[in-house]
Amino acid sequence: MSLEVIILAAGKGTRMRSDMPKVLHPLAGKPMLVHAVEQAQKLAPTHTHIIVGHGAEQVEAQVKPLGAECVPQKQQLGTGHAVAQAMPMVDNDATVLVLYGDVPLVPAELMQQLVDQTAQGGLAILTVTLDDATGYGRIVRNQKGDIETIVEHKDATEQQRQIKEINTGILAAKASLLNAWLPRIESNNAQGEIYLTDIVAMGVGDGVNISHLQPQFPQQTQGVNDRLQLAELERWYQLQQANQLLRDGVQLADPSRFDLRGELTTGKDIYIDINAIIEGQVHLEDGVHIGPNCYLKDAHIGAGTHVLANSVVDQARVAKQCNIGPFARLRPGTVLEDGAKVGNFVETKKTTLGKGSKANHFTYLGDTVVGEKVNIGAGTITCNYDGVNKFQTTIEDGAFIGSNSSIVAPVIIGAGATVGAGSTITKDVADNNLAIARGKQRNLTTWAKPVKR
């Protein structure tokens, strides 16, 4: 028995007030729809059909690379109509899993359970019991407790509106049943829409046993209609991730002030202070400490390294026992070798800092290769850009760059060389030489201070 997934994603999402289709708004740094697609694909479906309408091209650009196929729904005539658009592409012997692109946190395991339940009768729905069920389709059961029908909020009687068990919209059904039911759905309801939910009453009429499941947490089936719901879901998801890291032995100062938008892998004895934002793929080796308010993106940080408060490490590779910050910014292409130090207000880009080298204060190093045990004085700038092209600076082992120097690339400063403070270096400096390139100091003995006239 094959599985096919249909994800509804044609709606506009008016309440988001956005030019971007709602399903592309990110949760934990990834479009909501991509969360749904990735979980669904863990079930290894033969096809994933995405029903697209508003912003179809934008949606397609996101999901095509994931191997999903887009099916246009020109007019959004209702959820039943949406599913019907994909059915001609679906194998009649398959089981169909229907998901919503704006319900991002359904775990794959729950999807699988729902699919497995179709073995019983052929239709399985995912329901959840909410304190406030306003706006949702209600699950109407008979005296015996069997599901009879789903009534949309707008069509429900006052009594039905008291029901707290709601339809999440997510369901699994045999394709053959959907093919029998979908053409029979009418739109004589409060919204004039073709309601997918009508198939439940049809199933009951046909004597099909309707199974149901509930999620472990209501957030797992929570849909997003506005930015408040998105923010609430984001906080819940972040807390789940943070709690999991704590359980896995990563010390977070405060799980409610931690954001992971990607994947974090760690060694042991990791400490992460408050307000860390971690994006992409980040690996922290044993004993790494991350100070408060740090941003780490696609970074590998070696054992025992400390990243102090308010630092940015973006697409950088940091070896062991390094010190970064406070207020440091490592930009893409930065490599710090063992024991290197980058202090406050230091920016590096496409730069390697060799073993034990230091740039401790107010410095820009771009397109620079710094050897071992080099000291870069405060205020040093590598002038790597002439407005058109970028050029390379090389500073060899043991060199000492005096404070406030401008090093105009391309240039090589030899091993053990010294650059006098305040120099503007435009020519190579040989090993062990002293380069001074600044105005000579003159002290005028005859000078008299001006007096007030």
Task: Identify the burial level of 412 via C-beta atoms within 10 angstroms of its C-beta, where 0-12 means exposed, 13-18 middle and 19 or more buried.
Answer: middle
C-alpha dist (Å) from residue 355 to 53, 318, 320: 55, 11, 10
Nearer CB in complex with Ca ion: 223/343 = 223
Residue 137 as a binder of ligand UD1 (CB under 6 A): the answer is yes
* Contacted by 407, from Ca ion, ligand UD1, none: CB < 5 to 8 Å by type: none
Helix-strand-coil split of the chain, %, nearest 5: 20, 35, 45
CA 275 to CA 429: how far, in whole Å?
Answer: 44
CA 93 to CA 428: how far, in whole Å?
Answer: 75
Each residue 146-165 as x (binds ligand UD1 by CB under 6 A) or -, in order, gives ----x-x-------------
Contacts of 22 (CB under 8 A, 6+ apart): 11, 12, 13, 16, 32, 101, 102, 224
CB of 160: closest distance to ligand UD1 in angstroms?
Answer: 12
What is the total count of residues that contact ligand UD1 (CB under 6 A)? 27
CB of 135: closest distance to Ca ion in angstroms?
Answer: 8
CA 200 to CA 203: how far, in whole Å?
Answer: 5
CB of 28: closest distance to ligand UD1 in angstroms?
Answer: 19
Residue 406 is encoded by which pair of tokens?
């401008």
Residue 72 is encoded by which pair of tokens?
């246009």
CA atoms within 13 A on the CB side of 303: 3
> Which of the residues 189 through 218 are near ligand UD1 (CB under 6 A)?
195-197
Each residue 205-244 as x (binds Ca ion by CB under 5 A) or -, in order, gives ------------------x---------------------
Active-site residue 361, yes or no? yes
CA 50 to CA 38: how far, in whole Å?
Answer: 13
Residue 413 as a binder of ligand UD1 (CB under 6 A): the answer is no
Which of 36, 56, 84, 166 is in the footprint of ligand UD1 by CB under 6 A? 166
Residue 127 as a binder of ligand UD1 (CB under 6 A): the answer is no
Q: Per CB under 6 A, which region of 77-85, 226-234, 238-246, 391-399 contacts ligand UD1? A: 77-85
What are the residue numbers of the active site?
361
Residues that bind ligand UD1 (CB under 6 A): 8-11, 51, 73, 76-79, 81-82, 100-102, 136-137, 150, 152, 166-169, 195-197, 223
What does the binding site for Ca ion look like in residue numbers (CB under 5 A)? 223
